[in-house]
C-alpha cells in the first residue's frame, strides 16, 4: 500500500493544521513524530477521510480518500479520542465495528475474539467499556483497528495510558505488522517510543514537515542540541565555578536567591557521569536536579531555529 | 444498513433520551385517566369521554408530543455522535455516509413510532372503553388513522431536525422556537402563511380523519378562514407535501455528512 501527499494543506479558518506537506509512505512502520499540536492528528484524520484537504492531494494507492468510502475497506484506525458507546461491552464494540466493515455476525464473532486475544483483553471483553481503565480502553481501541486485518493501519498515539506491559506488547505487535508488509503509521510525541517501533519517521511541527527519513540521522541532529540541566544546591557559587571548568558546559546561569543554577551541556552523558564525583570531592549537596528541556518540543524548537 | 439499523436501535434504547420520551408519552395516558375519573362532573352536559379523543390526539399528540420528541430524537441523529465523539468510528468504515444518516433516522422513527403506538393505544382504550370491546373495534380506524398521521409527522419532523442537528450549533433551541414559536403562532393567523408549517398539513389530515367530531369544535377558525378565503387542500395533497418535505430534508441531512467536516476535540 502506497500513501502519497502532494502539496497537502489543511486550514481551520485562520489556523493552519498542516501546511504544504509532500511525502510518500510505503509498507512498513512509519512514525509521525511531533509535539502536541504539531498536526499529527490532523494528518491522520485527513488520511482516514474525516477531513477534506484545503489544498493539494492525499492519495492511497492512487485514490483520493475524502468521500471515498471504498478506500476505507483497507484501513484500520485507532483514534486519539478516548470515546466509545460506553454501554457496549468490549466484545460487542469490536464486533459492531467488524459488522460495519461488512462481516456477518458469525464472522465478526470469530474475528472479534481473535483481535481481543491479540490485545490480551479476554478477561475484560464482557465488561462494559464504561467501566474500563484508560489502558484497557486503549487496548480495545487497538483491537477494533486490527480486527479486520487491514493492510493499512493508522494509529494515533496508541500507547497513551497503557501500562508498561501493554506498551511492550503493543510495540512488538506494531513491529510485527511492519514485518508482515502492512503499512502502519503511528503518531507519537515521545521519541523513544517511536524509536522502538521503527527507524523511519516524519518529523512534524506547526503543521510543517521538518525532517523525513531515518531516525538515526534525526537523532544526530538532536544530539547536537545542547541539553539544559537545572540544579538546586547548597553551594551554588562553588558549583558554578567548578562546572565552568567542564569543556562540554556551554553556559551557566546562576540564580542565588533560589540556590539554583541552569547549565547547558553538549554532552549530557559525560556531564551526568562527572557531577556526582564533583559533588563528593567538594562536599556539595545536590538537592534537586532536572532537565527543563528533556522533551521533544525543545528539540523541535532547536531544529526550527 | 440492516446491521446499522439494529445497532442504532440498541443505541437509542440505551439512551436517556428514550427514557424521557417514554415518560413524556405517559402524559396523554395520565390525562385520559384523569378525564375518565372526572367523568361524573361533565356527563350531565352530554359530553362523553370518548368524544374527547380527537382533541386529546390533536393537541397532546400531534401538536405537542410529536414535535417535541422529534426535536430531541432528530437533532441527535448526527449530533449524538458528534457530542459523544463516536463519529470517527462510523466515518472511518467503508459505509456510504447517506447509509449512516438513513439508518439512524429510520431507527429513530421506528423507536419513537413504537412508543407512540403503545401510548396512543392505551389512551384510546381508556377513552373509548365506555363503548365496550365492540366500540373499540368499530372505531379502530380512528386509532389507526391517528397513528398513521403521527408516524408521518414523525418522519417529517425527524428529517427536519436531523438536518438542523447536523448544521446548527444550538439545534434544540432553534427547533423549540420553530415548533412552539413559529408553527404555533402562524397556525392561528389567517391567510396562506400557515402553509409554511408542518403542523398545518398534519392538522388537515387530522381534521379529515375526525370529520364532524372535530371541525365543528373550532368555529372561530372556521369564521377566520371564511373571512380571509383561505382554501384548504386535500388530504392527498397534504400527504404528498409532507412526504416531499421529508425527502428534501433527508437528502439535505445525508448531503451534510458529505460536505461538512466535524473537527472533534478531546473531551
ipTM of the complex in this document: 0.79
Give alpha helix (H) positions in B14-96: 16-24, 26-37, 39-42, 53-55, 66-74, 76-83, 87-91
For residue B95, list chain A residues with Cβ-Cβ distance below 8 A. 69, 100
**8-state DSSP, B159:** H
pLDDT tens for each residue of chain A, 305 residues long: 889 999 999 998 888 889 999 999 989 999 998 888 889 999 999 999 999 999 999 999 999 999 899 999 999 999 999 889 989 999 999 999 999 999 999 999 999 999 999 999 999 999 999 999 999 999 999 999 999 999 999 999 999 888 888 888 999 999 999 999 899 999 988 777 888 888 888 988 888 888 888 877 776 666 666 778 888 888 888 888 888 888 888 888 888 888 899 988 877 778 878 888 888 888 888 888 877 655 555 666 666 55
Q: Model pTM?
A: 0.78
Handedness of CA A15, A18, A19, A20 (dihedral sign): negative
CB contact under 8 A, B4 and A100: yes
For residue B107, list chain A residues with Cβ-Cβ distance below 8 A. none
Per-residue pLDDT at B223: 52
CB contact under 8 A, B266 and A73: no
Mind telling me how many Å the CA of B254 is from chain A's nearest CA? 12
Mind telling me how many Å the CA of B153 is from chain A's nearest CA? 29
The share of chain A scoring above pLDDT 70, in percent, equals 93
Mind telling me how many Å the CA of B41 is from chain A's nearest CA? 49
Smallest Cβ–Cβ distance between A72 and the set B7, B92, B266 belongs to B92
B29: CB partners within 8 A, 6+ apart:
B119, B122, B123, B126
- A42-73 per-position pLDDT tens digit: 999 999 999 999 999 999 999 999 989 999 99
For residue A77, list chain B residues with Cβ-Cβ distance below 8 A. 88, 92
For residue A144, list chain B residues with Cβ-Cβ distance below 8 A. 89
Query: Number of CB pairs < 8 Å for A and B?
Result: 69
Question: Which residue positions in chain B have pLDDT lower than 70?
Answer: 1, 43-45, 212-231, 266-267
Which residues of A lie inside 8 Å of B (Cβ-Cβ)?
Answer: 12, 45, 48-52, 67, 69-73, 75, 77, 79-85, 87, 96-97, 99-102, 105, 144
Neighbours of A19 (CB within 10 A): 19
CB contact under 8 A, B84 and A83: yes
For residue A50, list chain B residues with Cβ-Cβ distance below 8 A. 88, 91-92, 261-262
Angle, vertex CA A11, rays to CA A5 and CA A15, nearest 5: 135
Which residues of B lie inside 8 Å of A (Cβ-Cβ)?
Answer: 3-4, 7, 11, 14, 84-86, 88-97, 258, 261-264, 266-267
CB contact under 8 A, B88 and A79: yes
Q: Which of B7, B89, B264 to mutate to test the interface with A (most CBs of A within 10 A)?
A: B89
Per-residue pLDDT at B216: 47
Give the residue carrying C-alpha cell 363503548.
Answer: B131
CB contact under 8 A, A100 and B11: no
Neighbours of B96 (CB within 10 A): 16
Mind telling me how many Å the CA of B117 is from chain A's nearest CA? 27
For residue B16, list chain A residues with Cβ-Cβ distance below 8 A. none
Mind telling me how many Å the CA of B96 is from chain A's nearest CA? 6
The radius of gyration of chain B's CA atoms, rounded to the nearest angstrom, is: 20
Give alpha helix (H) positions in chain A: 40-47, 90-100, 105-118, 134-146, 164-179, 191-197, 215-223, 236-243, 268-281, 296-304
What does the alpha-carbon distance between residue B43 and residue B29 come to, in Å, rounded to a whole number? Answer: 20
Smallest Cβ–Cβ distance between B96 and the set A51, A69, A71 belongs to A69
**DSSP output for B216-245:** TT-HHHHHHHHHHTPPPPPHHHHHHHHHHH
Cell numbers for A236, please give them.
551554588
Which residue is closest to B81 within chain A, CA to CA? A85
Nearest to B100 by CA among B84, B85, B88, B114: B88
CB-CB contact of B246 with B155 (8 Å): yes
Amino acid at each position: 500500500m502506497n500513501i502519497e501527499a502532494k502539496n497537502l494543506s489543511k486550514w481551520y479558518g485562520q489556523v493552519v493544521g498542516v501546511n504544504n506537506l509532500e511525502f510518500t509512505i510505503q509498507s512498513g512502520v512509519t512514525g509521525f513524530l511531533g509535539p502536541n499540536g504539531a498536526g499529527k492528528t490532523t494528518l491522520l484524520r485527513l488520511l482516514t477521510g474525516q477531513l477534506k484537504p484545503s489544498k493539494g492531494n492525499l492519495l492511497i494507492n492512487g485514490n483520493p480518500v475524502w468521500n471515498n468510502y471504498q478506500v476505507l475497506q483497507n484501513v484500520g484506525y485507532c483514534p486519539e479520542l478516548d470515546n466509545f458507546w460506553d454501554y457496549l461491552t468490549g466484545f460487542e464494540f469490536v464486533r459492531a465495528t467488524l459488522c460495519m466493515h461488512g462481516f456477518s455476525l458469525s464472522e465478526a464473532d470469530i474475528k472479534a475474539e481473535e483481535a481481543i486475544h491479540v490485545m490480551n483483553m479476554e478477561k475484560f471483553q464482557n465488561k462494559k467499556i464504561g467501566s474500563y481503565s484508560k489502558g484497557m480502553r486503549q487496548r480495545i481501541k487497538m483491537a477494533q483497528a486490527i480486527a479486520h486485518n487491514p493492510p493499512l493501519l493508522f494509529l494515533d498515539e496508541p500507547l497513551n495510558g497503557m501500562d508498561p506491559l501493554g506498551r511492550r506488547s503493543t510495540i512488538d505487535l506494531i513491529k510485527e505488522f511492519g514485518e508482515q508488509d502492512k503499512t502502519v503509521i503511528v503518531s507519537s510525541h515521545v521519541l523513544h517510543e517511536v524509536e522502538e517501533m521503527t527507524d523511519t519517521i516524519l518529523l512534524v511541527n506547526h503543521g510543517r514537515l521538518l525532517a523525513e527519513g531515518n531516525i538515526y540521522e534525526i537523532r544526530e541532529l538532536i544530539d547536537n542540541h545542547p541539553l539544559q540541566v537545572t540544579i538546586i544546591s547548597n553551594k551554588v557559587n562553588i558549583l558554578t565555578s567548578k562546572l565552568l571548568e567542564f569543556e562540554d558546559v556551554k553556559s551557566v546561569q546562576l540564580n542565588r536567591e533560589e540556590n539554583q543554577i541552569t547549565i547547558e551541556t553538549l554532552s549530557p552523558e559525560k556531564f551526568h557521569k562527572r557531577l556526582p564525583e564533583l559533588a563528593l570531592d567538594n562536599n556539595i549537596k545536590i538537592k534537586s536536579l532536572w532537565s527543563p528541556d528533556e522533551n521533544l518540543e525543545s528539540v523541535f524548537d532547536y531544529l526550527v531555529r | 444498513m440492516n446491521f446499522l439499523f439494529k445497532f442504532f436501535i440498541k443505541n437509542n434504547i440505551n439512551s436517556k433520551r428514550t427514557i424521557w420520551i417514554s415518560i413524556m408519552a405517559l402524559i396523554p395516558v395520565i390525562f385520559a385517566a384523569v378525564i375518565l375519573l372526572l367523568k361524573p362532573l361533565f356527563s350531565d352536559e352530554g359530553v362523553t369521554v370518548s368524544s374527547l379523543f380527537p382533541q386529546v390526539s390533536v393537541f397532546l399528540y400531534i401538536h405537542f408530543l410529536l414535535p417535541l420528541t422529534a426535536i430531541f430524537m432528530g437533532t441527535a441523529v448526527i449530533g449524538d455522535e458528534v457530542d459523544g465523539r463516536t463519529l470517527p468510528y462510523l466515518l472511518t468504515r467503508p459505509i456510504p455516509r447517506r447509509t449512516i444518516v438513513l439508518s439512524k433516522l429510520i431507527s429513530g422513527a421506528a423507536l419513537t413510532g413504537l412508543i407512540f403506538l403503545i401510548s396512543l393505544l392505551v389512551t384510546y382504550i381508556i377513552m373509548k372503553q365506555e363503548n365496550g370491546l365492540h366500540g373499540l373495534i368499530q372505531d379502530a380506524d380512528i386509532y389507526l388513522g391517528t397513528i398513521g398521521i403521527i408516524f408521518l409527522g414523525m418522519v417529517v419532523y425527524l428529517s427536519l431536525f436531523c438536518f438542523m442537528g447536523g448544521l446548527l450549533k444550538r439545534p434544540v433551541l432553534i427547533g423549540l422556537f420553530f415548533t412552539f414559536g413559529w408553527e404555533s403562532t402562524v397556525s392561528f393567523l389567517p391567510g396562506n402563511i400557515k402553509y409554511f408549517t408542518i403542523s398545518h398539513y398534519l392538522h388537515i389530515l387530522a381534521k379529515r380523519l375526525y370529520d364532524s367530531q372535530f371541525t365543528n369544535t373550532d368555529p372561530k377558525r372556521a369564521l377566520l378562514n371564511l373571512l380571509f378565503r383561505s382554501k384548504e387542500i386535500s388530504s392527498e395533497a397534504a400527504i404528498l407535501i409532507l412526504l416531499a418535505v421529508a425527502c428534501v430534508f433527508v437528502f439535505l441531512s445525508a448531503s451534510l455528512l458529505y460536505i461538512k467536516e466535524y473537527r472533534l476535540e478531546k473531551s
